[in-house]
Amino acid sequence: MSESLLSHIKSPENIKSYSSDDRAKLASEIREALINNLAKTGGHLGPNLGVVELTIALHTVFNTPKDKFTFDVSHQGYVHKMLTGRANEINTIRQYKGLNGFLLRTESEHDEYGAGHAGTAVSSALGMAAARDLKGDDNHVVAVAGDAAFTCGSTLEALNNIAMTTKKFIIVLNDNEWSIDKNVGAIAKYFNALQTHSAYSSIRDTAADFVQKVLGEGARKLAHRIEHSAKNILLPKVLFEDLGIQYYGPIDGHDTELLIKTFEYLKTKDEPVILHIISEKGRGYKPALDKPGKFHGLGPYKVQDGATAASQLPTYSEVFGRALTKFAESDEKLLAITAAMPGGTKLDIFQEAFPKRYFDVGIAEEHAALFACGLATQGFTPFLAIYSTFMQRAYDMIIHDMALQNLPVKLCMDRAGLSGDDGPTHHGLFDIGYLRHVPDLTHMQPKDEDEFVDMLYTMKEYTKGVSAIRYPRGTGTGIEIKDSPELLEIGKAEVIQEGSDVLLIGLGNFFEMAEEAKDSLEEKGYSVSLVNPRFIKPLDVNSISALAKNCKVVCTFEDHVLKHGFGAAVIEALHDENITVKVERIGWPDEFIEHGKVPILRELHGISVQKAMDKIVPHLS
């Protein structure tokens, strides 16, 4: 067996003298390492299999950390990590104390910019290029962005500013037709719309021959994948060259030697350039090629066939998709909107049943929010499903466009709370804080799947303004869902039991923790009130105040940061009611929470029944 090349790479310098055969062997070793290690840890397999040759070429031609790379979203940065001295740690990816699943500035000097949200690479890289010019340096700056990132407003805004900002700048448009799910509105689709333009129609029939002439016979082998790219060659000025960015490509993103030659040439250009490459998400692993959506990011799987462990319980996302689809059967005004996440939000269930009432706007959360507002003004009932961490991007629209106009838009925030292995860029720990002070907004969180459906039904019927619901990643309690949902009273909590010593208020998925604390306190002989608040806003001040004033201590539980969170809302309410009682809170600290398994992180940060007991009991003596 020949000696491994990957195991000897301590820095990018190690690969610069490699022959073309060495580079081909290295690519094979990287793919093997990714497939075998991620089978144990989970992770973003498909995106990284698609950028192996690209990353090898980049590190062969450029010199990090002097030269700067930014990756959009950076979930395809595993290969970069492996070529910058972290190959022997790839088995720790996304594990507590291990490598982060995204680029992280504190992890390596080669990680120039950390990001977990799309649309950041071009703007941040342009800032680096401007800084280089101001300092009089001569290093290169390369932004690697997938075609889906070009649906982001921030990317388009950056494109508009490149030519006036710098003359030495490289963008790599990595076109694989996928972000997480099949791209919608991405740049390849944008160019596809050019077929209807009169300037294009006269040369449509000769496009394939033209591509072959420019790129050679190899391009025709990719014909089914570069149909849109042929149009890019014919009409590049439509988007790029009229913006002052010289366009090159498309070229095969898996031809390492061609990529190296192209980058060597682009290094000499004293003008902003964009290189369009065609790549294949999941290349080298058939299960990932067959199901690119699934293998964008997943948990552990079997290497042999890519099979993953199937849960017997539905996820909250699946409950959401099924419930919304059922509601739509009897409500023709109900619409569903997502921002490039039909699979993650499970709106693909709705899409299959009602394709004309389903809208995927691409990675464009701000547009999605405004789009929903427009629909609401015309009497429709739009449900906007966006992860809690990504809803932050639409914050201005929530205040200025939805709430200010009292539009009945329904905000469905998936992955609220800790998102575990994905880390701080993906934890949904801030949405209570950024929503609860918005006037006239209704915000709720269910304790289980059945109550979740009740809340979705209540949102559907609520017409007085914006309503929002937060719900966690993964499965729920497994409770049976009623055949007919219940219409909940807005702002009314569920009082489970009344007591005289302690008031426990467990929000959403942390209600189970409050129940366990109740049992532990009762075993010690204390009388306990237990409340499922249901509504974050409007808070059921009457019920909570009536119970709190007869207790010695109140304890809240929430899967959110404590600053400006649900517990803070309870403290404010009790203060306003002139009720003096000690309030303890269980929730996340005022810091960015690292990545790792949820049980590990909860224990590390004191999110436990025992910690609650430690806080409560001293006040009862």
From 414, 508, 404, select the one nearest 466 (Cα to Cα). 404
Distance CA 536, CA 538 (A): 6
365 given a catalytic annotation? yes
182 given a catalytic annotation? no
Distance CA 243, CA 544 (A): 59
- Active-site hit among 365, 366, 516, 558: 365
Angle (nearest 5°) at CA 332 between 387 and 349: 40
**Three-class SS state of 275:** strand
From 574, 523, 519, 520, select the one nearest 551 (Cα to Cα). 574
Contact criterion met (CB below 8 Å) for 186 and 151 = yes
393 given a catalytic annotation? yes
- Active-site hit among 132, 393, 436, 534: 393
Place of tokens 């009344």: 498
> Which class for 580: exposed (0-12), middle (13-18), buried (19 or more C-beta within 10 A)?
exposed
How is 499-562 classified by DSSP, letter by letter?
Answer: -SSEEEEE-GGGHHHHHHHHHHHHHTT--EEEEE--EEES--HHHHHHHHTT-SEEEEEEEEES
**Three-class SS state of 284:** coil
Distance CA 140, CA 267 (A): 8
> Which class for 271: exposed (0-12), middle (13-18), buried (19 or more C-beta within 10 A)?
middle
Q: What are phi and psi of 345, to 5 degrees?
A: -85, -10
How is 567-607 classified by DSSP, letter by letter?
Answer: HHHHHHHHHHTT---EEEEEEE-SS----S-HHHHHHHTT-
Return the exposure string of 530-539: e unless at least 16 CB atoms fall within 10 Å of the residue's CB, then b: bbbbbbbbeb
- Active-site hit among 132, 281, 460, 537: 281
* Amino acid present at 41: T
Per DSSP (E only), the strands in 83-164 are 141-146
Active centre residues (catalytic): 281, 365, 393
